[in-house]
Amino acid sequence: MSEQLTPERHSLLSDIAELYYNQGLSQQEIGRRVKLSRPTISRLLLEARDLHIVEININHVIPTAIALEAKLSERFALRSAHVLEHGSSTDEAAFRNLGRLGAAVLTAAVPDGMILGLSWGTTVHAVIEALRPTRLPNVKVVQLLGGAGAPYHSIDGPEQVRRAKEMFGAQHYYLNAPMLVDYPEVAAALREDHSIKEVLQLARQSHVALVGIGSIIPELSTQYHSGYISYDRLRMLDQQGVVGAICTSYFTIKGEHMHEPWCEDCAIGISWDELCRVPTVIAIAIGKRKAPAILGALRSGVVHILVTDDATAEEVLRLDDKG
């Protein structure tokens, strides 16, 4: 177990890492210089990595399907599409690469001084985890909707804001409220709370929004698994022609917004109309079973930049060809 990380120990770990990684000294040479054994130097280098004093990045080329990107962009009047070539990668590796592709797209879209709004979910989490340190001290990172809470802490809104803030060295704003409450009156009262109202006002001013595209298929719905929506509600949505959701707003495969009072009137977060006014909306989604939801989102016009993979893109285009 590591000793307590005092300033002196942090300095020691940093100095040893500098000598090893940047100056190219061997562990034996460092040991002689600082009067410690080679095994001790090896252990301290591992500790520096465990404590993120040292972070090693391997920048693989991310293969993209240029023809599919062009088809999606032209078909749906997108500003750009970014389509990962799955190739022979495992699903886990492909998901990590999708996050890295999304992180590159997001970083390019957020110059210093912008307001960045973040949704939550597994794909948004993959993007935020793949961000690399970039100094953007005047960026403001804000939650677009309230939190999901346990057991989704790692992919929840506050965690995504915290991580993005750390990677960008940015300012950050938490929306300290649940995503949904039971009654519209409670939601209205919460929206008028001083701290919540200020964050919502900032979210509405977002220059860039990073969102996932949700499905109403039970096994794919994070809102269902987090307890915010019941199985019966999902069936009702399906019967109404709903195929997907962005934040807490639902839409059909034709891209028509379906106002659901039991959800949107009880939600703490950005509304559909407000999301439509965000200048740049980046959506990230993957999975052939999500294709109807992605198609509906693209047809709605709310999405400006799409990040997905080749199998999903092909299925979206196939469904669109069917009309």
Q: Domains of the chain (ranges plus CATH)? A: 7-50 (1.10.10.10), 66-322 (3.40.50.1360)
The amino acid present at 38, given as its one-letter code, is: R
DSSP annotation of 254 reads T
Length of the chain counted residue by residue? 323
Whether the link from the prior residue into 184 is cis, omega within 30° of 0, is: no
The series of mean pLDDT values per 10 residues for the chain, 323 residues long, is: 71 91 89 93 91 75 92 97 85 90 96 96 93 93 85 78 93 94 95 96 98 94 83 95 96 97 94 97 96 98 97 97 89
Q: Could you give the CA distance from residue 197 to residue 94 in angstroms, rounded to a whole number?
A: 39
CB 274 within 8 A of CB 297: no
Asked if 178 contacts 144 with a C-beta cutoff of 8 angstroms, the reply is: no
Identity at 211, one-letter amino acid code: V
Half-sphere exposure in the Cβ direction for 224 (13 Å, CA):
17
Residue 72 has a pLDDT of 98
Q: What's the pLDDT at 1? A: 39
Count CA atoms within 13 Å of residue 186 on its CB side: 11
Q: Helices 310-322 and 66-75 meet at what angle, rounded to 10?
A: 40
- Do strands 249-252 and 257-258 pair parallel, antiparallel, or not at all (unpaired)? antiparallel
Nearest to 15 by CA among 48, 50, 37: 48
pTM: 0.82
Q: Rounded to whole angstroms, how far apart are CA atoms 205 and 116?
A: 9
Which 3 state secondary structure label does DSSP give 244?
strand
Q: Which residue has the tokens 């699903």?
A: 91
Residues contacting residue 271 through CB under 8 Å, at least 6 positions apart? 249, 264
For 170, left (φ over 0), alpha (ψ -120 to 50), or beta?
beta
**DSSP H helix total and E strand total for the chain:** 15, 11
Q: Which residues contact 139 (CB under 8 A, 6 or more apart)?
A: 110, 112, 113, 114, 115, 116, 168, 170, 171
pLDDT at residue 204, as a whole number: 97
Taking the C-alpha atoms of residue 96 and residue 261, their distance in angstroms, rounded to an integer, is 36
Alpha carbons 39 and 45: distance in angstroms, whole number: 10
Dihedral (CA of 75, 311, 272, 162) sign:
negative
Dihedral angle over CA of 223, 224, 230, 231, nearest 10: 140
* pLDDT value of residue 150: 54
| Cα–Cα nearest to 81, from 319, 317, 278 | 317
- Tally Cβ neighbours within 10 Å of residue 277: 13
Largest CA distance in the chain: 73
Q: Residue 301 corresponds to which tokens in the numbers above?
A: 């016009």
Sorted by sequence, the CB contacts under 8 Å of residue 149 that are 6+ apart come out as 156, 178, 226
